[in-house]
Amino acid sequence: MSTDEQVYVQALALGLDPAWRRRTDEERHDDGCRFGEADASAGLDGVRSISYSSIGLEPGVDLVFWRMAPSVDALESAAASLLRAGLGRWLTVRHSLIGRIGPSQYVRKPTDQEQSLFAGERSRYLVVYPFTKSTDWYL
């Protein structure tokens, strides 16, 4: 990552309307396929996405998308496309956390901790919390 490169991340938490579960198997399958296609097409705009189930972990949140993109506009466009496609029409945004990442001014040579959030294998779990790094945090 160059010093001029800006990368934006988003944790998008979505809640599913319980009425969707009462649709026929065929309708749910079709909804899922169109939803997956919309998520895959976001990759064409440089949006990288990993999804996590959060059923039973956070009331009202069933699905979390952890995304990285070159701009906030790309994240917004990808989310809008997702919510218009199939299953997305049955989802409500419960939380959306957006941040910008870049090289740390406090680290000369990046360690594993500073490496890309999307490098390597997908983690089984994702913990997201709002946090702003400050000089005091590093001291």
Q: 26-53: per-residue pLDDT in tens?
A: 999 999 999 999 999 988 889 999 899 9
Q: Does pLDDT of 1 surpass 50?
A: no
Q: Does pLDDT of 91 surpass 50?
A: yes
Q: 2-19: per-residue pLDDT in tens?
A: 445 788 999 999 999 999
Point out which residues pair with 50 in neighbouring strands.
Answer: 66
Q: 48-74: per-residue pLDDT in tens?
A: 998 999 998 889 999 999 999 999 999
Q: Which domains does the chain have, with CATH numbers?
A: 7-138 (3.30.70.1030)
Q: Residue 138 contacts by C-beta under 8 Å, 6 or more apart in sequence?
A: 106
- In this prediction, residues 73-90 reach a mean pLDDT of 95
